Amino acid sequence: MDRGNCSSLTEFIFLGISNSTENKGTLVTMCLLVYLINLLANLGMITLIRMDPQLHTPMYFFLSHLSFCDLCYSIAIGPKMLVDLLAKSKAIPFYGCALQFMVFCIFADAECLLLVVMAYDRYKVISNPLLDTVSIDMSSMSLNKAGVYMVGMADVLIHTTLTFHLRFYGSHEINHFFCDIPPLLLLSCSDSQVNELMIFTIFGFIELSTFSGVLVSYGYIILSVLKIHSAEGKFKAFSTCTSHLSLMAIFQGTMLYIYFRPSSSYSLDQDKMTSLFYTLVIPMLNPVIYSLRNKDVKEALEKLKCKNWF
């Protein structure tokens, strides 16, 4: 394309989830409902874990931070997306776009790494069930937490610097509902080979580390479970891991689908639905599934009901 059409932009225009007006009301209602459940479920999970001493264990410490990550990156995307579904102008300032991407990338990366830490924690608990009732070692937990967020910040610094120093075509319409790397690269008239290389290198390292860490942890978990003699004990041990493993597979699978393809194969109309799934639906599912399948969380909720706090 003609590089003479390059320009310095002050804002971008989102094309949104869909240009169709036929089912707009239904789409707005569904997205709003999912977003509200997302907020309430994650805030509720964080509050419940902080308030109930029974949940002050490493597993729930990391689960509260998983809810925090879900909450942060869905807040960065959800409100703007909902407003754009109803508004005529879907503009976002250039630096607002950069900020939205930064918040999303930091907490999405942190969630990937938290899943690894949670898998390792499950292995330790199954190997030694008494650890599940041990109080949190705050120095160790804080170190793990800080490491997770620092990796996310380092990653976002690199990608934000590379992406938002590109030059863009005169057309500043982004065929998406939030600022993400693939649609921005398609809009750029600069050479984006370095950007694509960094996506494969950095995201690849994070994804490979996540998958390797989880696979190794669950390999040891299986070996530990096989040593349990009772069928009931084996079932209980596996049931504590199924929620974590299924949600990790869904989250990681969608991320791999979006980011680990050459730019020539991007189909943004199709990718928008996939992005909607991991930016709003998965953050809603995490606390819901963990609470529904978790005996301790159910008991904590019953305590609150008995005290008329809800």
Q: Write the pLDDT tens digit of every residue in 59-79.
A: 788 888 989 999 998 999 999
Q: What angle do CA 282, 287, 289 make, to 5 degrees?
A: 80
Percent of the chain topping pLDDT 90: 16
The structural domains of the chain, with segments of one domain joined by +, span: 3-306
Q: Nearest 5°: phi and psi at 166?
A: -75, 160
Residues in the chain where the model's pLDDT stays below 70: 1-8, 19-21, 128-139, 169-171, 228-241, 243-244, 260-269, 292-294, 304-310
CA distances from 155 to 63, 160, 263 (A): 22, 9, 20
d(CA 185, CA 192) in angstroms, rounded, equals 7
114: which 2 tokens?
Answer: 């938290």
Q: Nearest 5°: phi and psi at 160?
A: -65, -45
**CB atoms < 10 A from the CB of 20, how many?**
8
Mean pLDDT, the chain, rounded, equals 79
CA distances from 87 to 28, 83, 131, 142, 243 (A): 12, 6, 52, 42, 38
CATH number of the 3-306 domain = 1.20.1070.10
Q: Write the pLDDT tens digit of every residue in 88-108.
A: 888 999 899 999 999 999 998
